[in-house]
Structure 1
Amino acid sequence: MTTAAGKTATGQTAPGPAGLPFLGSMLDLKRDSLGTYLNGQREHGDVVRFTAGPPGLRFQLYGVFSAEGAQQVLATQSANFRKDNAFYQEVRESFGNGLLTSQDEDYLRQRRLMQPLFTRRRVDGYAGAVTDETTALLARWRGAPDATVDLVDEMTRLALRAVARILFGVDVEEAVDVVERCFPVIGTYTLRRGYSPVNPPRSWPTPGNRRAAAAMEELYAVCDRIIRQRRADGTSAKGDDLLSLLAQAGSTEDGSLDASEIRDQVLIFLLAGHETTATSLAFALHLLARHPEHQARARAEAQHVLAGRTPEAYDMDALPYLTQVLKEAMRLYPAAPVIGRRAVAATEIGGYEIPAGADVIVAPWVTHRHPHYWEEPERFDPERFAPGAEKARHRYAWFPFGGGPRACIGQHFSMLESVLALSMVLQEYELRAVDPEVPVDTGITLRAVGSARCRLDRLGRQA
């Protein structure tokens, strides 16, 4: 057998749970996929073969849980592990062929066209949109009933409004209204189809197909209307929202993006740009609410650096402990807890054979809890990300933004938005957790199952 590197595979068959006689691990994966992967690593090691489904529909899934294995899949052998699985195909059909889902020359061309829009200097220019939306959030909180809020709902709306404002500029209100109404319908539909072994064609008039088609039509329509307006403004337009910049992006080598390509990028940015950041913000605040000593230290840093003023992009480098808090929250609650690929050719990982055509996952949820890299992995400890500690760990012991040539293009934006918003919240409020634990599940991104309520005690500083 030949591997992707052109060598003969000599690895053993990966171990895995036996599961039920007829269904294998299907019910475990359906009920609690994250717990099943975590137990698989603890019981069987760093490469685990999960078998699921009844005879005739049975499939095998290979979990790769070491940092070294994640690096192999995402970086050193990334060409052998493609986004060819059923889940990504469903995301493509729902949200378009943008940076998250495109491959090969499509992806390389899109990345080259997008990269100038995501330089640190360009992204720092979006800080004002983030702080304006956070200011509006804090003003609304002052009138919150009994001073208690659900952080998941609040941070989802904050992150959506921030990314929509950066994308759409003056059209933000219309866009937010449509996204809030349509995204949950499309996301649930896409997720269900992505993990189902058999799906009816999308063209069949089933109730689920019709609901999703109506939501996609409404979402596409508002994007297309705004895009037509931007393109009608011409290349001399002075708009500095991301959509205007996308409409103007181009090069001699790669040409420019047509209207459908711009829409695909917009939809992917909306999906990836607000759900992931919302998750990181909500759990960072909830963890601080559960650990008052860390909250007090983070607040003291924000107050020392900012002295009550609204933060600017340059302040991020002066808030290292807040950044450590955020990274530790992203370790425990990575917004992309599982990353899927499909092997093109047979290869070997950690001494085990991965067959050609196999579905493979790497799982930040598991690797971020691996006892080889993390002492007391379930404990919240921002000191894990002090500069010396970070340098001592394997590069892929922590990879909430993926890695390799397909690492998330929006990493700096997500970190900037989160640190600035955290600093503003902590300067004005002390948070106390009402819900001590927040169960989670995996969808297109990590999602809370239930509420993450916190009581807000205003510190008395005048806005």
Structure 2
Amino acid sequence: MELNTVVDSASSSASQAPGLPRTPPLVGGGLPLLGSLPALLSQQAELFLGARARYGDVYRMRLGPVSVTVVNHPRHVQHVFRDSSAKYGKGGALWDSVRTLLGNGLGVSEGDYWLRQRRMMQRHFHREQIDELVSLMVDAIDEELAVWDAAAEAGSPLSAMRAFSPLVMRMIVRTLFGGDISREEVEVIAASGTFAFGHVFRGIIAQGLPAWVPVPGGRRYQRALRDMDAVLFKIIERGQRHPQPAGASRSLLASLIGTVDPETGQRMTAGQLRDEALTLLLAGYESSALALSWTLQLLLRDPAALAELRAEVDAVVGGGRPNASHLYQLHYTRMVFQEALRMYPPIWWLARVALVDDEIDGFHIPAGTFVLAATYAIHRHPEFWEDPERFDPGRFTPERTASRHKLAWIPFGTGQRQCIGRDFALVEGQLVLARLVQRYTLAAVQPDRPAVPALSMTLRMKKEMSFRVTRRGPGREGARAGV
């Protein structure tokens, strides 16, 4: 891979001068005002792999007038997000942009307020609590698969994201809101949320450009926020007026409405519930749909892996309904999903701002520096991943997992701020994959033209992958007729 850039000569000289702090090498060769921004837009994720290969595990790049220090090794993640996490925060223009969407939700809040919210929410995301939601998830999957059945009957192709997005949305809505949301309301949140996520990313890229440079879509973004708020506040108000009783069928939102902070005796306000519900909904919706889309693409290009996945599901679940106990036996299914998250992590970046001067691998990190951990590149670091472009679910056997750095795989982040929905997402992935191979044989429409990554807030597909499904016959004849 060629990277048409050179190390900035002044930066290189300064970093070698004796007695002066070393400065990370600067990815150069960009335009005076835009820096590496055109290269990022054209090369996408490959820019990070090429820069790491040329400049090492720590380097800087200019995105417009904003300088970003990129770190690419698990030990850097250990330092920034765990050992020295108090030195780094979620301040600055980037996080302010995200807050225009998520308010002060768990993903962006800080300090004592974040600790309070995490304390109130954490117990609802313990694995035993998630297991109680499995039946609701399977109901949602089966309802949405009626669309897949119609495509199978007609012989029509399906588009990965267009097929998985409503399926994931139905699962999240069912578990987050229960039955207290209409299909029209779901469609409003899905359409508005997808646009809003992309707009926030464009705003982040434009940070630091002159104020007169327009970022298209500003009015539509404000309208999307209003539309989502109208739906969410209406659902919250209904939930507060008519609390659901505790039990296995209780939605996550109902649980949050009923949660009292043991230290303060307070409940969340409607505004706080809005921020947390929207954070859970948007963070889980697009990322899970993308994770499943990338997983399916990888499986359709590896018939042996798909056959092994199906054989495991047939042996463990048979023709019955998946339940929580099955998940603990679907080891290969889980490893398939983990490997897909390695190769194509929907959350491809983790970012912090240095609150004080610091040092990473001998490089000086001044206070105010925007530090980006490139998850996509860390998941392909040759020190930890042999032949990293090869799809190999066996990387996640207990033995191989124990032999590598614990932070070589971070699709959900790490440390205190690790994604609260980690176990929810893994259960979700296992259930969907199990139900799909139980029900269908699958084939790519154009197996030699895979989708390629496109950077946004998430790792999207530049061109969506299309595939066909065929219903498996009674007695699992389809298991032997094809993959």
TM-score > 0.5 by shorter chain: yes
* More moved, 297-306 vs 207-216: 207-216
The match for 1:179 is 189
For residues 153-207 of structure 1, what are the alpha-carbon distances to aligned partners after superposition, in whole Å with 9 as ceiling and x for unaligned? Answer: 1111111111011111122324312112311232232222122135799xxx997
User: Do 1:164 and 1:175's aligned partners in 2 also have CA atoms closer than 8 Å?
Assistant: no
In 1: Cα distance, 2:395 partner to 2:418 partner:
22
SS at match of 1:69: helix
The match for 2:111 is 104
* More moved, 435-444 vs 95-104: 435-444
The match for 2:25 is 15
Compared with structure 1, are the counterparts of its residues 199 and 247 closer, same or farther at alpha carbon in structure 2 (3 Å cutoff)?
farther
Tell me by how many angstroms 1:146 deviates.
2.2
User: Do 1:16 and 1:40's aligned partners in 2 also have CA atoms closer than 8 Å?
Assistant: no
Tell me by how many angstroms 1:234 deviates.
4.8
SS at match of 1:97: coil
The match for 1:117 is 124
Tell me by how many angstroms 1:48 deviates.
0.9
Size of the alignment, in residue pairs? 449
* More moved, 437-446 vs 36-45: 437-446
2:462 to 449, 452, 456: 449
The match for 1:302 is 313
Compared with structure 1, are the counterparts of its residues 37 and 272 closer, same or farther at alpha carbon in structure 2 (3 Å cutoff)?
same
Tell me by how many angstroms 1:236 deviates.
6.2
**AA matched with 2:281:** L
Tell me by how many angstroms 1:20 deviates.
2.5
User: Do 2:337 and 2:429's aligned partners in 1 also have CA atoms closer than 8 Å?
Assistant: yes
**AA matched with 2:87:** N
Tell me by how many angstroms 1:106 deviates.
1.2
For residues 53-101 of structure 1, what are the alpha-carbon distances to aligned partners after superposition, in whole Å with 9 as ceiling and x for unaligned? Answer: 3xxxx22111100011111111111111211132221111122211111
Compared with structure 1, are the counterparts of its residues 122 and 14 closer, same or farther at alpha carbon in structure 2 (3 Å cutoff)?
same
Counterparts of 1:38-77 in structure 2, within 5 Å, are 38-53=49-64, 58-77=65-84
- TM-score norm. by structure 1 comes to 0.92
In 1: Cα distance, 2:150 partner to 2:433 partner:
20
List, as ranges, runs of 4+ consecutive aligned residues in structure 1 with deviation greater than 6 Å: 235-239
* More moved, 173-182 vs 280-289: 173-182
1:82 to 76, 86, 89: 89
SS at match of 2:442: strand
Q: Is 1:292 the counterpart of 2:303 in the alignment?
A: yes
**AA matched with 2:464:** S
User: Do 2:445 and 2:468's aligned partners in 1 also have CA atoms closer than 8 Å?
Assistant: yes
**AA matched with 1:214:** R
Q: Is 1:460 the counterpart of 2:467 in the alignment?
A: no
User: Do 1:87 and 1:191's aligned partners in 2 also have CA atoms closer than 8 Å?
Assistant: no
Tell me by how many angstroms 1:28 deviates.
1.1
Compared with structure 1, are the counterparts of its residues 189 and 20 closer, same or farther at alpha carbon in structure 2 (3 Å cutoff)?
closer
Tell me by how many angstroms 1:209 deviates.
2.8
* More moved, 347-356 vs 304-313: 347-356
**AA matched with 1:303:** D
Structure number with the bigger relative contact order (C-alpha 8 A, sep ≥ 6) is: 1
The match for 1:225 is 234
Counterparts of 1:111-150 in structure 2, within 5 Å, are 111-144=118-151, 145-150=154-159
For residues 294-325 of structure 1, what are the alpha-carbon distances to aligned partners after superposition, in whole Å with 9 as ceiling and x for unaligned? Answer: 00001000000011111001211100001110
Tell me by how many angstroms 1:216 deviates.
1.1
In 2: Cα distance, 1:47 partner to 1:150 partner:
38
User: Do 1:288 and 1:431's aligned partners in 2 also have CA atoms closer than 8 Å?
Assistant: no
For residues 380-433 of structure 1, what are the alpha-carbon distances to aligned partners after superposition, in whole Å with 9 as ceiling and x for unaligned? Answer: 000111110000010111000000010011111000011011011011222222
Tell me by how many angstroms 1:252 deviates.
3.4
Counterparts of 1:28-427 in structure 2, within 5 Å, are 28-53=39-64, 58-144=65-151, 145-172=154-181, 173-198=183-208, 208-234=217-243, 240-254=250-264, 255-427=266-438
The match for 2:479 is none
User: Do 1:81 and 1:344's aligned partners in 2 also have CA atoms closer than 8 Å?
Assistant: yes
In 2: Cα distance, 1:206 partner to 1:438 partner:
27
User: Do 2:206 and 2:215's aligned partners in 1 also have CA atoms closer than 8 Å?
Assistant: no
Residue identity (%): 34
The match for 2:12 is none
**AA matched with 2:369:** A
Tell me by how many angstroms 1:462 deviates.
7.7
Q: What runs of 5+ residues in structure 1 fail to find an aligned partner? A: 1-8
* More moved, 130-139 vs 9-18: 9-18
In 1: Cα distance, 2:37 partner to 2:323 partner:
48
In 1: Cα distance, 2:53 partner to 2:345 partner:
19
In 2: Cα distance, 1:88 partner to 1:68 partner:
24
In 2: Cα distance, 1:30 partner to 1:82 partner:
27
In 2: Cα distance, 1:164 partner to 1:94 partner:
19
In 1: Cα distance, 2:365 partner to 2:297 partner:
39
Q: What runs of 5+ residues in structure 2 fail to find an aligned partner? A: 1-18, 477-483
**AA matched with 2:113:** D
User: Do 2:359 and 2:365's aligned partners in 1 also have CA atoms closer than 8 Å?
Assistant: yes
Tell me by how many angstroms 1:341 deviates.
0.9
User: Do 1:61 and 1:360's aligned partners in 2 also have CA atoms closer than 8 Å?
Assistant: yes
User: Do 2:164 and 2:293's aligned partners in 1 also have CA atoms closer than 8 Å?
Assistant: yes
* More moved, 33-42 vs 300-309: 33-42
CA RMSD of aligned residues (A): 2.2
**AA matched with 2:52:** Q
